[in-house]
Amino acid sequence: MIKKWWHDKVAYQIYPKSFYDSNGDGIGDIPGIIQKLDYLHELGVDILWLSPCYCSPLADEGYDVSDYYNIDPRFGTMNDMDQLIAESKKRGMYILMDLVVNHCSDEHEWFQKACEDPEGKYGNFFYLRDKKDKELPTNWRSYFGGSVWEDLPGTDKQYLHVFHKKQPDLNWENPELREEVYKNINWWLEKGISGFRIDAIINIKKALPFRNYEPDRDDGLSSIHNMLKEATGIGTFLGEMRDRTFQKYDAFTVGEVFNEKPEEIPDFIGENGYFSSMFDFNETVCGGSEKGWYDARQITPEEYKKCCFEAQAKIGTIGFLSNIIENHDEPRGVSHYIPEGDCTIKSKKMLAALNFMLRGIPFIYQGQELGMENVPFSSIDEVDDISTLDEYKTAINAGLSPEDALHAVAKYSRDNARTPMQWSAQPNASFTSGTPWLKLNPNYITINAEDQINDPHSVRSFYKQLIALRKNPDYKETIVYGTLEPVWEEQKNLMAYYRKGEKTLLIIGNYQNEEQEVYLDSSYKKILLNNDTILKQHDQHLCLSGYQVVILEL
């Protein structure tokens, strides 16, 4: 395997709006990120992925870009961005931008021009269809609810949007559009960023010609997935994009890829794949329901283990997955993956170690290193996220009471991850000196960076140790390149695996409150990490306390 600069790195996702506000307007910004670079450097992370901070009406919080070449004034200036790139470089860190090119904003110049002249050049940048009486071009349901078709203002046409109506899909079948995308990617890479996280990319190829699919809800519409399943030929676009852009710069790219087929994995992330890596979403989608969030089911420890191992087996050593326990679209991992009532500093560390030691690139989402938790919502009015609002409506339409609907969607709300970063126990967690754009999780009094930095037993200190272990020259080769082999898979609420390379490591997590024994058929050399003060042992039996996790060198 050819070694790449990013193989041994640790990535950290920043959601700029909620990271750190430098000027008191209640909105996190790029100067705020610069001020916190030392915090990140001290933690040990290398690659920083910034969720979108381009010009945007923020209908979908920046995933609706109105100008790909400029920074939204709320987040700062291009000068700030240049400074962030330079300051990161000084610290040996790398910046990834978020590439959002399945769609743009309806406030983007291209779309405005398409409205003015739908038959002209820019009309063909989008998917436009003639408007018909009482009939939609197709019956596809958008990700954020309702039809994917919307009237094109001032015309007799309709445009396609698989996400929000303020996010018109870009027509990738049009080579002129693709050129514009590549131009922009290269422009950013020239600027000195190190790569991209690539948003919703699996949606760029539609099944042609457009047709209706079997309706799957009472609204008579059909999930967008039914169309995507039938789409073929995305590789032509992705390969072209790689050749024209990323490859020339040796960029690191991580794709937001959902429904890839096993036989496609080498094309996606193998040697010279379309992307360097792609996220493992096997755990995040587990328990989901076709009907909506209200019908979703909490994932169990057994399922979590199965999902991780399944994803690992699927990829093997073909390439590198990017492993997450949460991101800006998900509830907080500790609230989601640890059974209710069991969420403690100790169990948070267990989850951290089990996830972090998997083969792949570890991604930490802001606040994850503190063990930030889901937010208690007391009313739907506190919710900002368009996806949560839509899911709430779906739940109400399905007959849930407003109370039950709120309770149901709160568990999965994207806002759980989007509340401001908890820097200290001071007012507004020191995120802002003004009024925060989204309410804080009131638990910042007890969960915050300031308290955790100097506490050797904090969740953050544990993350720091995990990162340091991955970088330790004695173990690096094994942790980065070693294979992963599950062990004691049948033992309930126990997740354990070997990492085998130059050395052999064994990671064992007791995923329950009760203690649990495992039988070790050889002795171990060393305990590399332990979230408990001791490791009980008699003869060859290790007895792990509730939620204990250990990393052993054999």
- 26 — phi, psi (to 5°)? 85, 0
Which residue, 21 or 256, has its beta carbon nearer to Ca ion?
Answer: 21
Can you tell me which of 12, 21, 88, 101 binds Ca ion, judged by CB under 5 A? 21
Tokens of 383: 């919710």
DSSP strands (E only) in 459-539: 483-487, 494-500, 504-510, 516-519, 526-530, 536-538
User: Is 199 assigned a catalytic role?
Assistant: yes
Look up tokens 């042992």; give the residue.
Answer: 537
Q: How far is the CB of 415 from ligand TEU (least distance, A)?
A: 11
By the 8 A CB rule, do 499 and 479 touch? yes
Site string for ligand TEU, 379-398 (x = CB under 6 A): --------x-----------
Tokens of 321: 């997955």
Tokens of 372: 């930030």
Can you tell me which of 12, 54, 122, 143 binds ligand TEU, judged by CB under 6 A? 143
Contact between 63 and ligand TEU per CB under 6 A: yes
Site string for ligand TEU, 177-216 (x = CB under 6 A): ----------------------xx----------------
Q: Residue 29 touches which of ligand TEU, Ca ion, none (CB < 5 to 8 A by kind)?
A: Ca ion
DSSP conformation class of 169: B
Q: How far is the CB of 162 from ligand TEU (least distance, A)?
A: 9
Contact between 100 and ligand TEU per CB under 6 A: yes
Q: How far is the CB of 285 from Ca ion (least distance, A)?
A: 34
CA dihedral 93, 354, 201, 261 (to 10 degrees): 140
Exactly one of 256, 280, 283, 390 is catalytic; which is it?
256
By the 8 A CB rule, do 80 and 74 touch? no
Tokens of 437: 């754009």
Contact between 29 and Ca ion per CB under 5 A: yes
Contact between 329 and ligand TEU per CB under 6 A: yes
- CA 78 vs CA 40, 88, 324: distances in Å: 22, 15, 29
DSSP conformation class of 517: E
Contact between 163 and ligand TEU per CB under 6 A: yes
Tokens of 104: 């743009």
Which residue, 143 or 431, has its beta carbon nearer to ligand TEU?
Answer: 143
Region binding Ca ion by CB under 5 A among candidate stretches 16-24, 33-41, 81-89, 249-257: 16-24
Q: How far is the CB of 414 from ligand TEU (least distance, A)?
A: 6
Which residue, 143 or 252, has its beta carbon nearer to ligand TEU?
Answer: 143
Exactly one of 199, 280, 384, 391 is catalytic; which is it?
199
Q: Residue 197 touches which of Ca ion, ligand TEU, none (CB < 5 to 8 A by kind)?
A: none
Separation between Cα atoms, residue 423 and residue 430, nearest integer Å: 6
Tokens of 195: 């790569």
Q: Is 537 helix (H, G, I), strand (E, B) or coil?
A: strand
Look up tokens 């919703």; give the residue.
Answer: 200
User: Is 173 assigned a catalytic role?
Assistant: no
Which positions ≥6 away from 109 have C-beta within 8 Å?
A: 66, 67
Q: Just list the catalytic residues.
A: 199, 256
Interface with ligand TEU (CB under 6 A)? 60, 63, 100, 143, 163, 199-200, 256, 328-329, 387, 414
Interface with Ca ion (CB under 5 A)? 21, 23, 25, 27, 29
